[in-house]
Structure 1
């Protein structure tokens, strides 16, 4: 039921504001408004005002304002013509029609401007993990560091940090890092890297490899039953809560703690699926002579994220012989540090040679030759994406530690206005760019979403909290305003085109031209509606019944 409530609130607000824009400007110019309706079709509620009938109709995907004389061919009594829409000056008709989409853009601006008042949650500049031997690692960054400034510019979030890095033009940067009670200074030089942008296109920007705001929980995996860890009672799936009384929030913190440990007696507090218990471990002298990277291997403790939780039948991994419980070690000779790295290696397969995967099973190193295959890509909320991905059918159950968050607040009116304007412009531009890429074929038409997609976004954001719901409402409001300004007959933008023509030529387009354009517009609109509905059903086909049940649950 929460999904249905979310859809009703979101669409209700957007449609009401859109139609209110038309209504208010019509009233401003003394144009008689006969009907103000939220929704289409049969009326489920109506109230007659002084001269306007206000109603709520059964189909919620739209609304309308009916004005006197919208049909320019209709005959009106002479005493009413001054209040007729079709008899109003072209500029007045232009402003009345433009007021709808402009109201949606104004609404988006005010929503965005209000967000800092309630607080915008952002990922803080806390470094949850640093990939060993990466550029960030070699520069001196370590897990649990917190970046406070870059080149003396304050940094509170990961977003702040990477914006400054991207603007560096490859120049050396100096950052202050809070590490425990100490402050460290670290120098590093960003390098150009190519990644996919929001449209799946390659985009090059400056970055530093190896920093992550996410880290897995300290859940262990045991791949060698003869290891020291196994002999002391550790089992795959155990979560280490603390070592020698030091609480552990994530696997990287455990990893670094054990690498740098100086004492031989360790007391682990461990949580299994059934119970919480202690494990005492005495490290032999040999442990302290090992290189830091070999210490965890010696104990036999590994992060559970590199353990296969499930192998889907009849997939490349299944046919190659991988099994649940195997620990991934390397792919094509490259040691794998985390599951995301493994996933990206599979997705980036060059199609030339099969993947050579090494895994540990019961203490023995096994080799597998795997040919990935293309499969449809589904993600939560969004459903099926148009771009398929290479996969092998091996699944890991990675559980991440809660991210360290920073809540951005602002109360200064100038800051709020600037924030609202920047966000509104960003999403307006993104909508424009998306349209261009759809027209040029760089973004497939399958990426368009319809009412089910909007409902899924509304419902999931509603359940996440007020910030997320308002943000989605503002983004969709920008989309609605932009699309209604396009010069497509039937839409507001089509009418604006005709009124603009009339203002320039001092005469309206011919009725024949207008009728032909209206027919083309209706056909385009119907085709678009069929396309987005088809996309929605195809996108959610695997969990279509689940979406419907969630709407009414």
Structure 2
């Protein structure tokens, strides 16, 4: 059952991405010939109006086939009014960008829902206070609850860590039993490792969490802030991961494919619905950003071609477009095969 939920979630993400392309195309009068969830042989199809809606055999993607656009033949042209190839580069960019944009909208909505439903997280309650560190010297005690730092409300231990990591003077408002106390603390700067294993400097005050977990809810404008922050942080991590992968800091064996994505979604569906929503939101952001990468086989590469036409006032040479797109497909298929290989090796316990 969990794997069925995972496949449905992944299919929904693809559907929403393609829905963005579909709606933008229809707004600008482009005929949509096929709207398919999945690739390969069509299991089910029904034509409504001018569009054939299909469910295809391989459920790891999807596509919309626009009149005058063919991913397998990038040189296909059609000069009729309802053709994609007859539209201006600016309109093409909007249609291409609409898919990833819908992924960002979906992710924001899911994060917004999570904020309202409540997130299970470590509470900002102090456990161990390390001797001879700033918090100890200021008088912070075990079981103190941090209410705010520099007038900003602290709801989670992560909020506390983010505030302390900055090299600034901190004004802490603390709840100790039934008393509200104020403390002024200067963080100590130490060397640490970030999520990519790189050495960084960050501020610490010498406290550890008590381990108490609670459900933190966000209401009203807080939900909007939470969703915006999650969308920004997710996008930033994914972009940095791509950069670190290209530069070689992240090894190729860390690249994941569709098998691992489905596995993660299945695990999340077993444990907690909120966790499942968070994972779907994160994958939606991932799908949006990866589709905007400047690889000719993806939306981002096609957007670059159209920007080139806007700047030079002439389309890219047909042969150049053909070979660049072919090269893009080679890169894309290589990454997919690499991800699939890594997934299989992980499942077999090799890594």
Q: Output the TM-score relative to the length of structure 1.
A: 0.58
Q: Deviations over 1:489-539 (max 9, x none)?
A: 111111111122222223222221111112211211121112112222233
Q: Does 1:212 align with 2:209?
A: yes
3-state SS of 1:504 partner: helix
Q: Does 1:405 align with 2:207?
A: no
Q: Deviations over 1:24-83 (max 9, x none)?
A: 11111111111100000111221110111101111111101112222576586x8xx111
Listed as ranges, the matches of 1:345-364 within 5 Å are none
Deviation at 1:5, TM superposition (A): 2.2
3-state SS of 1:405 partner: strand
3-state SS of 1:36 partner: strand
Q: How well do the aligned residues superpose, as a CA RMSD in angstroms?
A: 2.6
CA, structure 1 residues 207+406, in 2 after alignment: closer, same or farther (shift >3 Å)? farther
Higher RCO (C-alpha 8 Å, min separation 6): 2
Gaps of 5+ in 1: 215-402, 545-553
Q: Deviations over 1:395-415 (max 9, x none)?
A: xxxxxxxx33141221x2x44
Question: Is residue 308–residue 315 contact of structure 2 (8 Å, CA) maintained in 1?
Answer: yes
Query: 2:312 & 2:262 partners in 1: Cα distance?
Result: 43
Q: Deviations over 1:248-281 (max 9, x none)?
A: xxxxxxxxxxxxxxxxxxxxxxxxxxxxxxxxxx
Question: Is residue 107–residue 285 contact of structure 2 (8 Å, CA) maintained in 1?
Answer: yes
Gaps of 5+ in 2: none
Listed as ranges, the matches of 1:162-177 within 5 Å are 162-167=161-166, 169=168, 171=169, 173-177=171-175
Q: Does 1:423 align with 2:243?
A: no
CA, structure 1 residues 18+189, in 2 after alignment: closer, same or farther (shift >3 Å)? same
Structure number, greater radius of gyration: 1
Question: Is residue 177–residue 186 contact of structure 1 (8 Å, CA) maintained in 2?
Answer: no
Query: 1:175 & 1:415 partners in 2: Cα distance?
Result: 20
Q: Name 1:147's counterpart in structure 2.
A: 146
Query: 1:456 & 1:73 partners in 2: Cα distance?
Result: 38
Q: Deviations over 1:288-335 (max 9, x none)?
A: xxxxxxxxxxxxxxxxxxxxxxxxxxxxxxxxxxxxxxxxxxxxxxxx
How many residues matched?
A: 347
- Select 2:265's aligned residue among 448, 458, 475: 458
Query: 1:142 & 1:49 partners in 2: Cα distance?
Result: 68
Query: 2:270 & 2:36 partners in 1: Cα distance?
Result: 29
Query: 1:532 & 1:460 partners in 2: Cα distance?
Result: 19
Question: Is residue 158–residue 213 contact of structure 1 (8 Å, CA) maintained in 2?
Answer: no
Listed as ranges, the matches of 1:185-334 within 5 Å are 188-214=185-211
Higher helix share: 2
Deviation at 1:144, TM superposition (A): 3.4
Deviation at 1:95, TM superposition (A): 1.6
